[in-house]
Amino acid sequence: MTDPEKYARADEDILKAMEKPGRAYLLGLGVTASLAVGGGLLWAYQIRNGLGVAGYTHPVNWAVYITNFVFWVGIAHSGTLISAVLYLFHARYRTSFNRPAEAMTVFALMVAGLFPLIHLGRSWVFYYLIPYPTERQLWVNFRSPLIWDVFAVGTYFTVSAVFFYVGMIPDLAIARRRREGIRKTIYAVLSLGWRGTGRQWRHYNMLYLFLASFATPLVASVHSVVSWDFAMSLLPGWHTTIFAPYFVAGAIFSGTAMVITLVVPMRKTFNLYRYITDDHFESIAKILLLTSLIVSYAYVIEFGLAWYSGNIFETELFRYRALGHYKVFFWIMVACNSIIPLTLFAMRLRRNIPYLLIVSLLVNVGMWLERFVIIVSSLSRDYDPYAWNALIYRPTYVEVGITLGAFGMFFMLYLLFVKTLPLLSISEIKEHL
Amino acid sequence: MKALLEKKGSLAVLLVIAAALLAFVAMSPLAGRGGSLLLALLFWGTVVEGCIAAAAAGTMVNARWVGSVKRELLSVRPLLLLLAFLLLLLIPFVDSYPWAGGPGLWLRKDFFIGRNLAFLLLAYVTAGRFAAAVEANGETKTVRAATYLFVFVTSQTLAAFDLVMSLEYPWYSTLFGGFFFIEALYAGFAVSAILCILVHGRPPRTDDPDARSSLSDISVLMFGFSLLWAGLFFAQYLTIWYGNIPEEVSFIAKRTSVSPFRELAVSVLFLLFFLPFPALLSTRAKSNPYVVTAVSLSILSGILVERYVFLAPAVRLNPGALAVDLICLLFLFVCVVYKESGGTPLDA
Amino acid sequence: MIFDGKEEFVEALRRLVGEGVPPERIRVLTPFPLPEVDRILPRKRSNVRFFALIGAGTGTITGFALTILTTLSWPLIVGGKPIVSIPPFIIIAFALTILFGSLSTFLGFLLLSRLPSIRNIRSKEEYGNRFVILVEEGPTR
């Protein structure tokens, strides 16, 4: 097959995904959309009745919503990692995953950004967090980790949206060429009239290199800032120096698992075996394994040093985490995050795609539970023994429903993406054909 | 010189002489209580294990640069044996650790020396197996690289928590171990850069903006690690600063409120971040041998000064003994690398 | 000149430059970036990098200025921290460095590559996966 034929086939194969949807797709969209709507209705109910409908019991005033916030920001991370970091390292296999991963980043951040608002008692005054000149001349408190979050997550969302869009410009020009009517006009406008001249490519490559270099330290900083929401407090189990790198590794771990969860079905549905090979999955599985090991290292260090320190509060907290009210979650977390991924040392299992999908689903569960365990167990075992066993926090149906709604919203946005935008980076694929 | 070194057993003789010299210095009344030996052991432990770890990490990800300096990086293995011997010389010194009066399950003399010794020897064994696999260019080399990296991470973590952190018992920081092994890798890349320049000379000058030399690849890694180092440093500092708990800040306060530690602590920041980062920012500087050598030396000296700042407020160091220890090890380091250098580069 | 294959295109381009056509007058359109083009038609490196540098610098300064000046304008001790607490402000300055740096790089790219271009959005002319060389009128060297 000659080169021109290969190019044409790449256009054809990848843009085919954007054709009229089938019944399974519509069913999926319906299910996810109704979950999202359900979550929205529950949020409305919570706004109407107040935060009491969530299961908060003093001293556990951060729970499922904050868990979701941390989880979704974490999911976002691997998108930037796969796109930017692998770009800087000239890793070939990035081409098969970068577009879905970047889309995932943007959508996960949209979902994540909602949770601090859901968690607010009066969601409608969220703009107090934004620094702007007011007649009261009162500014936000820049020494508060919550403001750092606003800056870090806001920057992250903006930069990853730009990165996502910039990567898509040449492909939108291809979509423009191959579509008719109103859709042609839309893609033409979105592609900004891209022509692919020598000069455009030269500037484009430089832009891409810089965006990748900016995004890489940004990834590390964002989840560090999220971890500092906890580490800046004085709570046992939260106030610890390893939190920043530990959270970053955990974020990449869960994000990589989510990429696998999304790309395996996508490859099957749209028959993209030619562009996303088992070798590529094997490389991604190695990232999953590496980050799993880092996360396990952090678990060991946390427990080990709590014991080393001889500090009674730390020791008690970690005993409680493993053996207390939330022990079931803790042990599921250990199994999913530290033990099951170890099987990926076997090359045969790394290349077994159904097995990889199962592992990645379990890792998603494990990482969600990790955040839940960190947040809830520390809060329910602080310095005040009176509160220890008085009331046990349990999530209510509102919290569970809103969590499901968040998953619904995320998958709905992703489903919309695969039908409207080029789902792989076509021009990069041609470059490497 | 080279012919002399290549004679069979000459290296072993050299190692034994060095061991005897170091033992004499450590035993002599001049050395005080062994703080100098501890510093030499920590610094060279970081550098030696870091060199092999850099080679192993490069092998695992199939990095192109690693082929050009792998032989030299792996040649430092014998020094691990010497370092294990130095650890034995430290046995009397362990009595001056604050926990020595009331040992526990973890912090007790025999286990303390035993586990650190075991991991140094294990590092030697796994590094040897890795080097053999590289020499044979066998399939097993990635597996053995991974094995070495496990031992490396554990060994550096133990060095951080046991040898350094327990000097300030009950102060602790969970990031300390991770900080140490990242620094060791950082040092490994710095040594790789110097070796790359010494062995291969300046990279060919091209007008092609996309051409990448081994040196510029290593520079990119050093650049990235300078940022990573700054991030880890900041994560550690910020948590302790913000928490402001007396038992935690005392560690920082001791090292930033009195001269000369204050000045040295600031210079560490410069040597490890504020110099390397801007110096390597431009693409052209990344393949300029002078800039890269300067940056590498800055990184290595930054790590040495940092180890000093960690130790000095807690132990007594004798400058004379320290100088003898460091120079002796530096001489050996140069000898082992020089002996191996100049052979055909091992391909990645 | 229009080519279907990459090799013929690169060959023709090389020949054209060899014949003495000044590189400034040659324009190429390709479906993906070709490193060979940069080698044959040497141009200075893209100025987008200066936008990145200026944007990042502005971001750092803005970050520190915003935090320090606003806390000084209403000095209130919170959480036992100094009024001007540099460590937390570094985080804000860092975020703004990245934000301003990325946005200014993006704007620089749009400006230098003449995008968005209304004419090209409306144009029906498409070359698709083909490689095109356009030579402007003018004397050869």
Q: Would you say residue B346 lies in a domain?
A: no
Distance from CA of B330 to the nearest CA of C (A): 37
Q: Would you say residue B54 lies in a domain?
A: yes
- Chain center to CA of A216: 15
Does C88 sit behind a cis peptide bond, omega within 30 degrees of 0 on the bond before it? no
Q: What is the pLDDT of residue B30?
A: 63
For residue C134, report the phi and psi dihedrals to the nearest 5 degrees. Answer: -115, 130
Q: What is the pLDDT of residue B348?
A: 37
pLDDT of A118 higher than 60:
yes
Q: Would you say residue A199 lies in a domain?
A: yes
Give Cα separations from B37 to B22, B45, B85, B87, B162 (angstroms).
8, 12, 11, 9, 15
Domain count for chain A, please give it: 1
Q: Mind listing the pLDDT tens digit for each residue in B295-330?
A: 999 999 999 999 999 998 888 888 888 888 889 889
Q: What is the pLDDT of residue B347?
A: 46
Domain count for chain B, please give it: 1
Beta-ladder partners of C133: C28
Whole-model pTM: value is 0.93
Question: Could you tell me the pLDDT band of residue A97, with boundaries at 50, 70 and 90?
Answer: confident
Cβ atoms within 10 Å of A93's Cβ, excluding its own = 17
Arithmetic mean of pLDDT, C50-64? 94
Q: Mind listing the pLDDT tens digit for each residue in B265-274?
A: 999 999 999 9
Counting residues of chain B whose pLDDT is more than 90, the rounded percentage is 47
Q: Which one of B172, B227, B235 has the shortest CB-CB distance to A244?
A: B235
* Partner-chain contact A224 B235, CB within 8 Å: yes
Q: What is the pLDDT of residue B342?
A: 59
| Residue B259 region by backbone torsions, left for phi larger than 0, else alpha for psi between -120 and 50, else beta | beta
Q: Which one of A142, A194, A198 has the shortest CB-CB distance to C67?
A: A142
Classify burial at A88, counting beta carbons within 10 Å of its beta carbon; exposed 0-12, middle 13-18, buried 19 or more.
Answer: middle
Q: What is the pLDDT of residue B68?
A: 81
pLDDT of A419 higher than 60:
yes
pLDDT of A95 higher than 80:
yes
Q: Would you say residue B345 lies in a domain?
A: no
Q: Are A417 and A270 in contact (CB under 8 A)?
A: no
Q: Would you say residue B50 lies in a domain?
A: yes
Nearest CA in chain B to C45: B209
Q: Are A143 and A154 in contact (CB under 8 A)?
A: no
pLDDT of A35 higher than 90:
yes
Fill in the amino acid letter for A16. Answer: K
Distance between CA A62 and CA A379 in Å, rounded? 8
pLDDT of A160 higher than 90:
yes
Nearest CA in chain C to B211: C35
Please write down the long-range contacts of A340-346, taking CB distance under 8 Å and 24 or more positions apart.
A340/A366, A341/A288, A341/A289, A341/A292, A342/A289, A342/A292, A344/A285, A344/A286, A344/A288, A344/A289, A344/A292, A345/A289
Q: Are C129 and A4 in contact (CB under 8 A)?
A: yes
In terms of average pLDDT, the best of A120-124, A334-338, B194-198 is: A334-338
Arithmetic mean of pLDDT, A80-93? 83
| Residue A50 region by backbone torsions, left for phi larger than 0, else alpha for psi between -120 and 50, else beta | left
Distance between CA A191 and CA A168 in Å, rounded? 8
Q: Would you say residue A43 lies in a domain?
A: no
Name the CA dihedral angle for B16, B17, B23, B24, rounded to a multiple of 10 degrees: 150
Q: Which of A407-411, B141-145, B210-214 has the lowest mean pLDDT?
A: B210-214
Radius of gyration of chain C from its Cα atoms, rounded to whole angstroms: 24
Helices (H), B244-341: 246-256, 261-269, 276-279, 283-286, 289-311, 319-340
Average pLDDT, chain B: 87
* Partner-chain contact C48 A196, CB within 8 Å: no
Residues of B in contact with A221 (CB under 8 A): 231
In terms of average pLDDT, the best of A134-143, B179-188, B326-335 is: B179-188
Domain range enclosing A323: 62-396
Distance from CA of A137 to the nearest CA of B (A): 26
Counting residues of chain C whose pLDDT is more than 90, the rounded percentage is 35
Q: Would you say residue A42 lies in a domain?
A: no
Angle, helices B289-311 vs B261-269, to 10°: value is: 140
Which residues lie closer than 8 Å to A312 by C-beta, 6 or more apart? Answer: none
* Partner-chain contact C85 A143, CB within 8 Å: yes
* Partner-chain contact A147 C85, CB within 8 Å: no
Residues of C in contact with A201 (CB under 8 A): 30, 32-34, 37
Nearest of A254, B238, A203, A2 to residue C91 by alpha carbon: B238
Counting residues of chain A whose pLDDT is more than 90, the rounded percentage is 56
Q: Would you say residue A404 lies in a domain?
A: no
Arithmetic mean of pLDDT, A47-51? 91
Which residues lie closer than 8 Å to B325 by C-beta, 6 or more apart? Answer: B22, B25, B36, B37, B39, B40
Average pLDDT, chain A: 90
Q: Are A8 and A364 in contact (CB under 8 A)?
A: no
pLDDT of A78 higher than 50:
yes
Arithmetic mean of pLDDT, C107-119? 88
pLDDT of C93 higher than 80:
yes
Nearest of C120, C93, C4 to residue A200 by alpha carbon: C120
Q: What is the pLDDT of residue A12?
A: 83
* Partner-chain contact B210 C35, CB within 8 Å: yes
Q: Are B338 and B5 in contact (CB under 8 A)?
A: yes
Q: In which element (H, E) is residue A177 found?
A: helix A145-178
Q: Which of A261-275, A333-347, B173-187, C33-47 has the lowest mean pLDDT?
A: C33-47
Nearest CA in chain B to A235: B243
Question: Could you tell me the pLDDT band of residue C140, with boundaries at 50, 70 and 90?
Answer: low
Arithmetic mean of pLDDT, C69-74? 90
Q: Would you say residue A413 lies in a domain?
A: no
Q: Would you say residue A412 lies in a domain?
A: no
* Partner-chain contact A205 C108, CB within 8 Å: no
* Partner-chain contact A201 C119, CB within 8 Å: no
Classify burial at C14, counting beta carbons within 10 Å of its beta carbon; exposed 0-12, middle 13-18, buried 19 or more.
Answer: middle
